[in-house]
Structure 1
Amino acid sequence: MPVVMSLTIKSLNGDTSFLLIFSPQVAPLSSPGLFPGSFTILVDPWIVGPSIIFNSIFSHSEQKSQPCITSLGELELEPDLILISQHKPDHCHEETLCQLSPDCGSTILGTPAAVKKIQAWNHFRPEFVHALPKYVEWDGRSIHRIMLPPPTPRGSCGEVTVSWLPARRDVTALHHAFGITYRPPCIVLSMRNPGHYLDLPMSPPASPRTPMSPMTVASSPCTIVPAPYNDREKTLSVLYSPHGVAFETIRPYATSHLVSESALPLTALLHSFDCVENPWWLGGNISTGSPGGLEIAPSLYARAWISAHDADKDNRGWAVKYTRIGQFAVDEVKRMLEKSHGNKKRNAARTKVVSLEAGQEHRIQGG
C-alpha cells in the first residue's frame, strides 16, 4: 500500500517552538527530511536561556520543563525555513537563533519587527532574512512562495507558501496568524502509457475578478466550502496563531488561497488553549485561547488542533504581576468542541485535540 504524504509536528520546548516536517507521498516515514521534496520549517525556536523584555525587573521568563535539545545544532538537518512570528524574545530569541552558523543556508521569514531585530544582530547573511508582507486578498505578491523541484525531470514542481495575517488595530502586535501550505513535487504515472510520466502544471492562481466562483461559494456567510478534489495531489496546510486572532482576519485567506490550493480541510491548527489577560493599560488580551480556537477549528475543518504557547513557565517581573491565566486541558477543549452547533458540530467531531510535551511529535497523513 503506498505511503501518503504527511506532516510531522514535533514540539521542541513544549510551548511555541515547533519543527514541521512536510513529506511527499513517496518519502519513507522513517526519514522524511532526507527525501527530495521534503520540507522542514523551524518555528519560533527558544531552547536556551531566559526570555527578558527590557530588563529582568520588567519581565523575566524561564521554561520550567527542559527542551528536548540543548542546541539547534542537534537538529538532524538544517531547516529549510525558519519562521519567527513576532519580535518578543520568547519567539525571537537571540541566544537560541545565534546558535546557527552565520553561513546557515536556512531562509528566515518573520514579521517586519522581528526581521528588523534579527538584522540588528548582524549574525545572518542579509539575503536570507526576509520580512513578510501583510496578506492581501487576490494579491499573489503578498504570499511568499518557495518552489520545490521534482525528483526527476519528468515530474512537476511543488510549492510551499507562507502568509502573514495580522489583526487590524492590534496595539499589542500579538494577534495574528501565519498560513503555511505545502504541495509536494509530483511524479505521476500515465494510465494510458505505462512507464511514462505525466507533467502536471502548477495550480493557477484564483482569478481576482471572480471572488464568488464555484470553489469559493459558501452556503452561508459563516461557512467555507472546500474545493472539490481534482487530478492533482491535495495540499497540506497549517495555521499557526500562538496568541490567537479573530476568524474574520483569517476568512479572506481561507476563502481565496486555501480553497484555490485545495488546502482544506486544514491539516493542523497550532493555537493556544489557555486564555491570558492583562489589564487594558498593559495591553488587555494576550491570548484568546480556546474560545478563539473554537471559532477557527470547525470553520476550517481542522484535522488537528495542537496546543501552542501554553507551557507552564516561571514568570517574574512587574509586567506579569497583573496577568491572569485561564487554563484549559485537552479534555475540556474536546468538550467545548462537542458543544458546537450545526455544521460546526459536524466539523468539530473530526478535529483531534493534541497537547505535546517537549520531544513529542504528532504525525498527520494526508493527500
Structure 2
Amino acid sequence: WILTKFHSTSWLVIDSVTLFLVDLSALINIVTMYLVSKDKVRLLWYLQIIFLAFFPMIIIPYTDTWVLLSVSLILLGFVGISSHSFNLIYRILFSVMAGVATVITYYIKPSGIIPAIAFIIIGIVYLCNKPDKKRLLRAVCLLVFLFGSGATTFVLGQNIISNQKYVSIDKSLEIPSIHFVNMGMSGTTGAYNPHDALMMAKLPKKQDKIAYSKKMIRKRLKQRGLLGYISFLIRKQGYNTADGTFGWLGEGTFIFTKTPASNWKWWAQTFTYPVGKNVSVFRFISQLIWISLVGILFFGWKYHDLVSDGLRLSLIGGFLFLLIFEGGRSRYLIQFLPSIIILIPIVWQSSKETIAKILLATGLKKMEVSQNA
C-alpha cells in the first residue's frame, strides 16, 4: 500500500517510512513524559538521542519497529486517563486514543498490546485499594469508551483486511498460535525453528498443525523434565534480554556486504556493516548503554505509582510472553522499548539514591559531612 502511494518500489522508501515512525514514536514518548512529570522531559530527550544514535534498527522495516508508534500512543492514552490534571472529557478522549491504538497495535504485532493489558490490571488494583463510588463510576465510563473505540476500530480493520487487494490471503494456511508456543520450547534458546515452520507448511489442515504442535510440546516437556524446563526458561530469559544491539547482524542478509567505500558514508558503515572494522566497537558501546539502562530500572524498584507500576507490569508481561512463545533473541524486546524508555526517567532519582546507599554501605563512597556540622 505504501509503495503504491509513493509510486515507488525502492527499499529506501520503506526505510524512510520506518525512520519516520520510530522518530514519531520518540516524540510521542516526550509528550507522555510531559504529562507524567515536566521536570523529567529533558532527561528523556537526552536518553532517546543517545539510544537512537546506537539503534541501527531504526531503518529496518519490520513489525518490531513499525509497531513502536502505536505502542507509544497506547502509553500516552493510558497516562492521560490516569492523570488527575484533566477533566472527564479529556480523559475520555485519551481512552478513545488508547482503544484505537491498542487495536492498531494488535493488527501490526499482537504482543504489542501487553502494555494496554498491564495498565488495565494496575488500574483495577489501584481502584480496589481505594474504593470510591465516584471513582468507580468514572472508571466504568472510561472503560466503556476504551473498549467501545477498540471494538469499532477492530470491526473497521476486519473490513479493510477483507476488502484489500494488495496481498492475497489464504485463510486455510493460517498457522495456529500453539505453533509459536511449540517453537518457544525448541532448541536451546526457544528461537525460530526451521523444521517446525516447515511442518506447518506441509500439514494441510489446521487441526493437523495443532495436533503436531501439541505432540512436540509434550515430547519436549518430557525430555527436559520439570527442573530441566525451569533451567531452559532461565537461559532463554538471558537470550531474550541480554543483547544490547537487539540482534543487529545476528540474522538475515538485509545489508549489502561489500567493503564500505572511502566516502562520507564510510565512517558510519564501518560501525554497522557486517564487514565494518569497527562493528565490535558498536557492539561494545551498545551493550554498555543497555546494561546502564537495565541497571537504572533494577535499582529503581522502590519507586511506585500507578504509571510506573503499569510500565513495570508491561515489561513483566513482555518477558513472560517471550518465555512462552517464540523468542531467544533480544530483537523481540524492541516492541517494549517505549515502556522501558519512559520508565527510566521516572525511577531515575530513586535508582540514584539506592546506588548511593549501596556504595556507602560497601565503603566505595564516603559520606559527605557538612562543614557546619
- The structure with higher relative contact order (CA 8 Å, sep 6+) is 2
Comparing both structures, which one devotes a greater share of its residues to strand? 1
Comparing both structures, which one devotes a greater share of its residues to helix? 2
Greater CA radius of gyration, 1 or 2? Answer: 2
Q: State the TM-score, normalizing by the size of structure 1.
A: 0.28
Q: State the TM-score, normalizing by the size of structure 2.
A: 0.28
